[in-house]
């Protein structure tokens, strides 16, 4: 059916945001390369630590962009399974439901389907990442005083996409043989937010058991 193909295709591409690139040759690009190299060693606890002499804001910025790209890609693989019909609410299991508000355009939290929520969320994150006053890409431009609180909000919201994928779409992840990729990405994310205390424990509750399982091997 060509028309449904066109519909689902356009919906997927809408939720699937363009990759956010860190400019080559910049210091942040060097940091990203450092992060990738240490990740290759397989020791995630070491990989998330602040490299010697580096600025914490910049390290958090580079990794936040990287997690956005990873989650964007992972969600992009399962958008066909995450529809208005299959996910009329944005949830992470029966106990956790998320309502969207961004504090500017939508002040009062609204109940919406998971694909709609994730589209709002990823668009909002992308807007923050593209804001040069929040995420300066040029050398010597200082990070704003509220940078950490913005980064914490971004990471808290990105966590919800992982939580939704794990709770509602794990079967397609297994069918697509993405399970190892998803687990590695999420484990890296969790070690990172734990290292710098970036997400409140309460927010992590929907995946608490999984977090304990993934991190217990690397104490």
Residue numbering of the annotated binding site for Zn(2+): 82, 87, 164, 169
Cα(160)–Cα(30) distance, integer angstroms: 29
Other residues' Cβ atoms within 10 Å of the Cβ of residue 25? 8
Beta bridge partners of 110: 100
* Residues annotated within a binding site: 82, 87, 164, 169
Residue whose token pair is 């970036």: 198
Beta bridge partners of 100: 110
Sequence-separated contacts (24+) of 138-147 with Cβ below 8 Å: 138/26, 139/26, 139/27, 143/55, 143/57, 143/58, 143/61, 147/57, 147/60, 147/61
Cα(161)–Cα(90) distance, integer angstroms: 9
- The answer to whether 218 and 45 have CB atoms below 8 angstroms apart is yes
């Amino acid at each position: 059916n060509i028309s449904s193909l066109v519909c689902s295709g356009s919906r997927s591409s809408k939720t699937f945001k363009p990759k956010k690139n860190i400019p080559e040759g910049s210091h942040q690009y060097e940091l990203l390369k450092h992060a990738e190299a240490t990740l290759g060693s397989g020791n995630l606890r070491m990989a998330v630590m602040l490299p010697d002499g580096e600025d914490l804001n910049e390290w958090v910025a580079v990794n936040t962009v990287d997690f956005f790209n990873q989650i964007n890609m992972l969600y992009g693989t399962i958008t066909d399974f995450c529809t208005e019909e299959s996910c009329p609410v944005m949830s992470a299991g029966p106990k956790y439901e998320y309502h969207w508000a961004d504090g500017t355009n939508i002040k009062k939290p609204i109940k919406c389907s998971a694909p709609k929520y994730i589209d709002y969320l990823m668009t909002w994150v992308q807007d923050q990442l593209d804001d040069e006053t929040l995420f300066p890409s040029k050398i010597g431009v200082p990070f704003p005083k509220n940078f950490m609180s913005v980064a914490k909000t971004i990471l808290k919201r990105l966590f919800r996409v992982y939580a939704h994928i794990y709770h509602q779409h794990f079967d397609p992840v297994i069918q697509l043989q993405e399970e190892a990729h998803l687990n590695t990405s999420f484990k890296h994310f969790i070690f990172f937010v734990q290292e710098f205390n970036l997400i409140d424990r309460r927010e992590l509750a929907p995946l608490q058991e999984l977090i304990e399982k993934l991190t217990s091997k690397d104490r």
